[in-house]
Structure 1
C-alpha cells in the first residue's frame, strides 16, 4: 500500500508492509543518496519483519519522488523526514506502538539527526557513512553518537564509507554489527556468502531487545 505525504519540499511516498497479526512495532526507513527503497537490504526487511509483527514503511524522500538526481542538503532531508513523521503520528501510528526510524546511508544520517525529537524508540543505521570514501579525517561519528536513542549500526566489511574496524568504541546504547563481507550496498563477491539474511536476523533480534 502506497500513500503520498505532503511535505514543505514536495510529496514523499510511503510504501507500507503491514504486520502479520498483532503489530508490535513499526519501522520507518528511508533510502540513501544513490538509490531508492528498492535497495536489497530495505526490501529484505520489508519482506521479513512483518512476519514477526513489525510493520515496515519504506519512505521515499521528496527529491526522489520528484525524479531529481541531486540530493538536497542535510537540513532539507531532515525537513522532509520530520513532515513524514508528523503525518505518521497523526494518520498511521497507533497509541503504544513503538516507532523505530532508520534507513541506509544518507537515510541513516537523517534518522540519527532527527530520531529523538520525533519521538522514535530507536534508530537503525544501515551502512552508516562514517566518512566520505578515502577521507577518514572527515568523520561523521558525532551524528551517530548523538542519536540519543538505542541505535543499531550494520556495516559491511568492505564498505569504503567506513568499515567496522574504523569505528571507535560505541556507548552502551549503540550496537555495531560488522558483517564478514559486503560493500556500501551490501553486495558481495562471487566467492563470498551473501549477507542479506545476516542483516534481517540482526535487525530482528535487535528490535526484540529494545521493545
Structure 2
C-alpha cells in the first residue's frame, strides 16, 4: 500500500502517493500524471508497484486540479507552479529522478533544473498535438539537457503525439528513446514499459 501525503500548493492541496520496498532505495523517482487522466494510468501504477523491488522509491504526484475533482488540467504555468512546491515538500532518498506521463513529462522537463533533479524519465512525451507536427514541443524536451540533466523517453511505436523516431530526431542520441508496443497510452505489453524503465533509469543517476 502507498503512503499518502497531502502537499500544499498555490492552487490548493496536491497529493503524493509514496511507494517503498524492502530493497534499500538508491533513488527517488517522482512521476506526474497526464492532463486527462490521473495516477491510475496503467504505466504509472506498474512502475509504482514494481520499481521499489529494484531499488527505487516511487512517488506518484496528483496535481491540485485532480485532487479537487476537476475534469481538465490548468495551463502549463499553473501545473509548474504547483509541481515545484510539491517536490520541495518530499523526502527524497538518494538521487532525484523526475518524470511522468504525457503532460506530466512536460512539467518534469520544464522544471527539472529548478527542483534539483539528476535526471528525467518521460512516458509518452507529447511532442506535438496529433496531426500537427509543426506545433512542436521539442524545446521542452531538450530543456533539461541544456542544464546538463539527462533525459530518457519511453514512447509507444504508434503514438499520434509523436513516434519514437520523431523524438529521436530531437535528441542528441537516438538511444535515449525506448520504443514499446502501443500508442499514447501503451496498454499492449505493460511489461515492456517496466523493462524499459529498469534499463533506462541507471543512465539517469
Tell me, in whole angstroms, the C-alpha distance in 2 between the residues paired with 1:199 and 1:98.
21
Q: Runs of 5+ in structure 1 lacking a partner?
A: 189-193
| 1:203 equivalent in alignment to 2:197 | yes
SS at match of 1:16: strand
| 1:121 equivalent in alignment to 2:118 | yes
Tell me, in whole angstroms, the C-alpha distance in 2 between the residues paired with 1:127 and 1:210.
18
Tell me, in whole angstroms, the C-alpha distance in 2 between the residues paired with 1:199 and 1:163.
15
Matched-pair contact (CA < 8 Å) for 2:153–2:178: yes
1:172 is displaced (CA, Å) by: 4.3
Distance 1:184 1:173, change over 3 A: closer
Q: How does 1:1-211 map to 2 (within 5 A)?
A: 1-88=3-90, 92-94=91-93, 97-148=94-145, 149-167=149-167, 168-172=169-173, 175-179=176-180, 181-188=181-188, 194=189, 196-211=190-205
1:132 is displaced (CA, Å) by: 0.4
Give the CA RMSD over aligned residues: 1.5
Question: What do the CA deviations read for 1:8-52 (whole angstroms, capped 9, x no partner)?
Answer: 111111111013231110100010011000000001101111001
TM-score, normalisation: structure 2: 0.93
SS at match of 2:107: helix
Q: How many residues align?
A: 199
The equivalent of 1:191 in structure 2 is none
Tell me, in whole angstroms, the C-alpha distance in 1 between the residues paired with 2:54 and 2:136.
36
1:93 is displaced (CA, Å) by: 2.1
User: Comparing both structures, which one devotes a greater share of its residues to helix?
Assistant: 2
Matched-pair contact (CA < 8 Å) for 2:127–2:162: yes
